[in-house]
């Protein structure tokens, strides 16, 4: 299948249509997890469950702008809205209405972010944990969609693919007008959504997420308002108890082997705590499923608690979120009293630097002052790399074709690329992307350590490392692709406009800028998308709609030339080109 996308230059080759991983955890923002009190410690294998989530990365400070991979995903899972398709990725959207519908392609409705708003679109072959198709193919199925925003048209010529839909039941259409908190039709829709998917929760993560999403909305709809308000403090109490137990190293002291547990008496002795008080503190966690209470008088890990240990990526992410969300929330009234009731502009004088008593510093300058915080940050970033789709959305065929036509030209510049993780992912997924055609640009202090770590990595051997401060400098000129993954959300519109303007000065006529970010949609957006946007306040950043990306691009001398959406999450790759 091939798409004719505005790539610039007459007679240039066209590109083919473009195409995830989502690692669920209990959503502590919207509801507490189910209690896990069980006398049988063999019921779960927390070590095996957490293995995929464990990563200790003691690397250099990543690119300016990459914190949002942590803040955006946090210690709380992103739950796809019930109407979202099970697998696959949409094609680049037309930014003007197509003259006629694309055969075999579904058109995305404007209210698609609302649960049950539309029928599920045709699915693709199932994707593995990295967002690639299980059959090894790189060419995903296309979807044409109409989206508002800046000018730019895409003409799609799609060939049909035979889908292999997931066993998870797709949602039915929501009943008309089903919006009220106690609307009987909406409540029935949510109950049906749970029934359709609950039978597959053991086998499929998508079914599990659909069930959880519907259950959370159902619980919120039927809960009396006073109870709903008090439930917010339940979630805060869970966070508070976890912080205490992390500081006492309780999660590291509980044995992690299959079927293992420890008595409260032994645990109290090991962490130097009063036994009765330790038991009392644990109730907040065992009653909500974070820990498992076992009679008589023992406690064991759950798959959740084992991820909160000292060297676990999620444990590090939890600590970062406690600072950037919980601690910052306490000073926000004073911050806005000082700077005015307006959006923080950054990159300095942001809530996190205000909290630290160093308002003149940027976020990454704060991190640079504390090596332990840098290590914590790097471990936490492993969560973001696994949870956020990297490949599978953007059509790479045209990039590989042009790179092959001119082997001396830089094909891929990772702007703010940190330790090279993203370049490594793309090179491993697309062997035609040669190392000598890839460059990683970041601050000098970041690249110095990153290069040392990359010496033994075959995927990064031969890659160029170019020191650049993207706030001030123009990147290397004339490359085919300039890639920014989770850079935009860390900055306000004026700051991000400057970054894009600097990149625009380096573009050739056929160059493209790819911004890999969450796209906000709907008013209001789904709760998790709203949470991520709110969390970015602490850094002076923000999540954006497609229209907002278009406005920032226009101010930088660019235009939106394509949108490549992930169907399982709100994530997308927005493509920019020079203004005509």
- The predicted-structure confidence for 479-521, as pLDDT tens digits, reads as follows 999 999 999 999 999 999 999 999 999 999 999 999 999 999 8
Rg of the chain (C-alpha set):
24
Q: What are phi and psi of 146, to 5 degrees?
A: -100, 125
Whether this prediction's pTM lies above 0.85 is answered by no
Establish how many alpha carbons lie within 13 A of residue 578's alpha carbon, considering only the half-sphere containing its beta carbon. Answer: 16
User: Residue 291: which residues within 8 A CB-CB, separation 6 or more?
Assistant: 36, 254, 282, 285, 299, 300, 301, 302, 305
The residue extents of the domains of the chain are 2-38+394-521+540-578, 250-308
Beta carbons of 31 and 152 less than 8 angstroms apart: no
Cis ω on the peptide bond leading into residue 260 (within 30° of 0)? no
Predicted pLDDT at 337: 98
User: How far is residue 476's CA from residue 29's CA, in Å, rounded to a whole number?
Assistant: 42
Closest CA to 26 of 258, 291, 252, 254: 291
Is residue 240 predicted with pLDDT exceeding 70?
A: yes
For the residues 6-19, what does the mean pLDDT come to?
Answer: 36
For the residues 553-568, what does the mean pLDDT come to?
Answer: 94
- Report the chain's terminal Cα–Cα distance, integer Å: 27
Is residue 162 predicted with pLDDT exceeding 60?
A: no
Predicted pLDDT at 478: 96
Is residue 21 predicted with pLDDT exceeding 60?
A: no
For the residues 523-545, what does the mean pLDDT come to?
Answer: 90
Closest CA to 20 of 165, 128, 93: 128
> Percent of the chain beyond pLDDT 70?
68
Is residue 130 predicted with pLDDT exceeding 60?
A: no
For the residues 544-570, what does the mean pLDDT come to?
Answer: 94
Residue corresponding to tokens 């790179």: 403
For the residues 24-51, what does the mean pLDDT come to?
Answer: 36
Closest CA to 67 of 347, 356, 392, 285: 347
Band (pLDDT 50/70/90 cuts) for residue 115 is very low
> 20 or 481: whose pLDDT is higher?
481
For the residues 82-99, what does the mean pLDDT come to?
Answer: 38
The predicted-structure confidence for 178-208, as pLDDT tens digits, reads as follows 445 578 898 999 999 999 999 988 888 778 8
Beta carbons of 153 and 95 less than 8 angstroms apart: yes
Predicted pLDDT at 376: 87
Is residue 477 predicted with pLDDT exceeding 50?
A: yes
Which has the minimum average pLDDT: 37-41, 289-293, 537-541?
Answer: 37-41
Closest CA to 104 of 57, 72, 142, 147: 142
Q: What angle do CA 368, 371, 373 make, to 5 degrees?
A: 85
Predicted pLDDT at 512: 98
Band (pLDDT 50/70/90 cuts) for residue 120 is very low
Class of CATH domain 2-38+394-521+540-578:
alpha beta
Give the tokens for residue 336: 């806005």
For the residues 144-164, what does the mean pLDDT come to?
Answer: 31
The predicted-structure confidence for 383-442, as pLDDT tens digits, reads as follows 766 667 889 899 999 999 999 999 999 999 999 988 888 999 999 999 999 999 999 999
User: How far is residue 241's CA from residue 229's CA, in Å, rounded to a whole number?
Assistant: 19
Neighbours of 229 (CB within 10 A): 10
The predicted-structure confidence for 349-380, as pLDDT tens digits, reads as follows 999 999 999 999 999 899 888 888 888 887 88
Which residues pair with residue 573 across a beta bridge?
Answer: 516, 564
For the residues 305-313, what does the mean pLDDT come to?
Answer: 94
CATH node for 250-308:
1.10.10.10
Is residue 81 predicted with pLDDT exceeding 90?
A: no
């Amino acid at each position: 299948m091939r798409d004719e996308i505005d790539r610039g230059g007459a007679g240039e080759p066209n590109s083919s249509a473009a195409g995830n991983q989502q690692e669920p955890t209990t959503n502590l923002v919207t509801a507490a997890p189910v209690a896990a009190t069980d006398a049988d410690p063999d019921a779960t294998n927390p070590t095996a469950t957490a293995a995929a989530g464990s990563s200790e990365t003691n690397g250099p400070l990543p690119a300016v702008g990459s914190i949002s991979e942590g803040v955006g995903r946090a210690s709380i899972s992103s739950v796809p809205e019930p109407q979202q398709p099970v697998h696959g990725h949409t094609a680049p959207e037309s930014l003007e209405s197509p003259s006629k519908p694309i055969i075999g392609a579904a058109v995305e409705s404007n209210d698609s972010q609302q649960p049950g708003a539309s029928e599920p679109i045709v699915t693709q072959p199932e994707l593995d944990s990295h967002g690639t198709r299980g059959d090894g193919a790189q060419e995903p199925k296309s979807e044409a969609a109409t989206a508002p925003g800046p000018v730019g048209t895409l003409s799609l010529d799609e060939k049909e693919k035979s889908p292999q839909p997931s066993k998870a039941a797709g949602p039915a259409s929501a009943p008309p007008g089903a919006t009220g908190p106690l609307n009987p039709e909406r409540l029935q829709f949510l109950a049906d959504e749970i029934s359709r998917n609950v039978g597959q929760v053991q086998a499929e993560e998508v079914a599990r997420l659909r069930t959880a999403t519907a259950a959370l909305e159902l619980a919120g709809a039927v809960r009396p308002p006073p109870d709903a308000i008090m439930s917010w403090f339940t979630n805060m109490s869970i966070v508070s108890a976890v912080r205490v137990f992390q500081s006492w190293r309780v999660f590291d002291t509980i044995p992690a082997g299959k079927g293992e547990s420890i008595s409260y008496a032994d645990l109290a002795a090991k962490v130097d705590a009063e036994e009765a008080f330790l038991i009392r503190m644990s109730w907040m966690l065992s009653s909500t499923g974070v820990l498992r209470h076992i009679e008589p008088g023992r406690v064991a890990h759950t798959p959740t608690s084992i991820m909160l240990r000292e060297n676990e990526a999620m444990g590090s992410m939890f600590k970062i979120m406690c600072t950037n969300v919980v601690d910052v929330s306490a000073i926000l009234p004073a911050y806005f009293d000082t700077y005015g009731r307006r959006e923080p502009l950054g990159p300095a004088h942001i809530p996190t630097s205000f909290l630290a008593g160093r308002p003149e510093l940027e976020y990454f300058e704060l991190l640079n002052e504390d090596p332990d915080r840098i290590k914590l940050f790097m471990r936490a970033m492993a969560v973001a790399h696994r949870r956020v789709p990297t490949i599978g959305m953007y059509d790479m065929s045209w990039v590989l074709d042009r790179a092959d036509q001119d082997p001396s030209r830089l094909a891929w510049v990772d702007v703010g690329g940190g330790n090279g993780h993203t370049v490594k992912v793309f090179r491993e997924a697309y062997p035609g992307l040669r190392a000598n055609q890839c460059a990683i640009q970041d601050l000098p202090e970041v690249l110095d350590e990153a290069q040392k770590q990359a010496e033994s990595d075959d995927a990064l051997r031969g890659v160029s490392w170019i020191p650049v401060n993207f706030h001030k400098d123009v990147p290397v000129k004339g490359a085919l692709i300039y890639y920014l993954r989770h850079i935009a959300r860390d900055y306000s519109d004026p700051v991000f406009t400057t970054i894009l303007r600097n990149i625009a000065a380096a573009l050739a006529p056929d160059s493209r800028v790819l911004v890999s970010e969450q796209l906000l949609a709907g008013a209001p957006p789904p709760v998790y998308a709203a949470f991520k946007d709110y969390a970015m306040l602490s850094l002076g950043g923000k999540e954006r709609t497609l229209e907002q990306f278009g406005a920032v691009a226009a101010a930088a001398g660019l235009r939106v030339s394509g949108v490549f959406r992930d169907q399982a999450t709100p994530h997308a790759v927005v493509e920019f080109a020079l203004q005509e």
